[in-house]
Amino acid sequence: MDKFHQAPNIYVGEVDIKVKNLEYSLTFYQNIMGFQVLEKSERQAVLTADGKTPLLTLEQPKDVVAKTGRTSGLYHFAILLPSRADLSVFLRHIIQTGYPLGAADHYVSEALYLNDPDGNGIEVYRDRPSSEWKWNNGLVEMATEELDGNGIIAESDAEWTGLPVGTLMGHIHLHVADLKKAEEFYTKGLGLEVVSYYPQAAFLSSGRYHHHIAINTWQGQGAVTPPKNSVGLNWYSLVFPNQAAREKAINQLKQIGAQVTEEADFFVTEDPSGNQIRLVI
C-alpha cells in the first residue's frame, strides 16, 4: 500500500485542466488513458479510476484559447499506478493504439509520457519500492535513463480494462517564472521539503516521497502566467491530513505574503507564477 499519498503527508489529490473541446478530450481520456466519467455537464467532466474518487477534471472555458509557448503552468500531471504489472498492461495498450509515447527510468520510478490532444502533459508511472531509493545528504537520487520497455511488457499479459482501482494522482510538475521564489513558496509557505535538484528544477515532497510537486524554469526565467481562458492547468488540490496542518500552512503562506482566500469548503492560494492551488482536508 502506498504510504506517501495519505496522512500524515501532504499530497496532490486532484487536478483540474482546461481543454479546447470537451467531447474530443473525453474520447482521449476514456479510450486512450482509461478514465471513467464520474460526473458530466456541458462544459465539465470529472474523471475517476475507481468509480468514486475524482482525480482529474476537464473544463472547456467559454472563450478558450490554445496554449501559447513560454508560459508558466502545467508541465505534466502524473498518474501513479499501483504496480509494475499495471504499467505493463498500460504500456501494451498504448503501443496497440499507436498513440505517441515517451519513456524514462528515473531510478525511483519507471515512467511513460504522453500529451493529451491539447498538449497538456501527462506522466503515467509506477514507483519502485521506497526501500530501493538511494538518499545522499537528504536528497534522493533521480535521473533520466532508458526505460526497460521489454521488461515491463513481460511483467503481465492481462487484458486492458482501463485504469486500475488504486490509481492515484502521484504528483504534479509545474513551469514557474522564478525557481527560488517558487521554492520559498512551497517550502516556507506550504511546508514541503526539497528532496532533489536537477538543472533549473527542484523536487519537493512531504514524508520523504521522491516528489509530490516539481517546479522548473525550462520555459525560461520570467515565464509569464497564461491567460485564464488558456488551455492548461486550472487548479490542483493539496490534501492536508487535518485542520491544524492546513491552518499552519495558511498562516505560513500569509507570513510570506501569499494571498489565501476561503471558498465553500476549501482555501485557495496561488504560487508566485499564478498556479492555483486548493488547500483541502
Q: Give the residue carrying C-alpha cell 490542483.
A: 236
Asked if the model's pLDDT at residue 40 lies above 80, the reply is yes
Mean pLDDT to the nearest integer, 225-252: 97
Per-domain residue ranges of the chain:
11-280
Write the pLDDT tens digit of every residue in 148-174. Answer: 999 999 999 999 999 999 999 999 999
CA-nearest of 111, 71, 70 to 94 is 111
Mean pLDDT to the nearest integer, 243-259: 98
Pairing mode of beta strands 201-205, 193-198: antiparallel
Write the pLDDT tens digit of every residue in 236-249. Answer: 999 999 999 999 99
What are the cell numbers at 71? 508560459
CA angle 136, 111, 191 (to 5 degrees): 50
Class of domain 11-280: alpha beta
What pLDDT does residue 30 have? 98
> Is residue 59 a contact partner of residue 16, using CB atoms and an 8 Å limit?
yes
Under 8 Å CB-to-CB from 17, ≥6 apart: which residues?
56, 57, 58, 59, 74, 77, 120, 231, 232, 233, 234
CA-nearest of 250, 189, 172, 196 to 11 is 172
Q: How far apart are CA 4 and CA 9, in angstroms?
A: 6
Q: Give the residue carrying C-alpha cell 500531471.
A: 77
Mean pLDDT to the nearest integer, 192-213: 97
pLDDT band, residue 69 (cuts 50/70/90): confident
